[in-house]
Amino acid sequence: MTESPVFLLTPRRFEDARGWFSETYSQASMAKFGVNETFVQDNQSFSRQTGTVRGIHFQRPPHAQAKLVRCVRGSLIDYAVDLRRQSPTFGRWVSIRLSADGGEQLYIPVGFGHAFATLEPDVEIAYKVTDVYAPDCDGGVRWNDPKLAIEWPLPASGAVLSDKDAVLPSLDELDVDFAYDGRPLLPLAV
């Protein structure tokens, strides 16, 4: 089990003259990190413009989701925000650059909001989740909440947002309380 509930992993790539092969998910490998959940759905999104911000999203119980996130085209900065009120790191976040070239993946457990910002045009992100999408459990926190003070790598033109993300509530208005497992959010080991 990892010390931090959010962690980075980089699956090994086997290269030859044709290119490379990588096992992007293994239940046995994830169990070595203390992840014993079953992933039930794969999602993928495409963002046309640099500076597209998606998030900060989560699902409430009974359909709360853990995520295993990777960038499959281009590059982005991925964020996990601690939304467990009893955690000493409530409201804190970690971020990491994910790229298709690097193959890095970020594991984000239940109790954390997820967001990303694209660093270039035409970015695709793919992620596995541990529960199905349930619109009645869908939630989020405003991407630019000053209490979070997230450092977004945005172009001079600013963030490209959905109408939904532009009006999400602040952290103080959040109406969810995820369970705290005794592990505070720690900086990502790179």
Q: Is 175 helix (H, G, I), strand (E, B) or coil?
A: coil
Q: List the catalytic residue out of 63, 127, 133, 180.
A: 127
Structure tokens at 104: 């890095």
Q: Where are the beta strands (DSSP E) in the chain?
A: 7-9, 13-16, 19-22, 41-47, 53-59, 67-73, 75-82, 93-99, 105-108, 112-118, 123-129, 138-140
Q: Based on the number of CB atoms within 10 Å of its own CB, is 73 exposed (0-12), middle (13-18) or buried (19 or more)?
A: middle
d(CA 76, CA 127): 14
Which residue in the list 25, 57, 63, 133 is annotated as catalytic? 57
Annotated catalytic residue 57: yes
Give catalytic status of residue 114 as yes or no. no
Could you list the active site residues? 57, 127
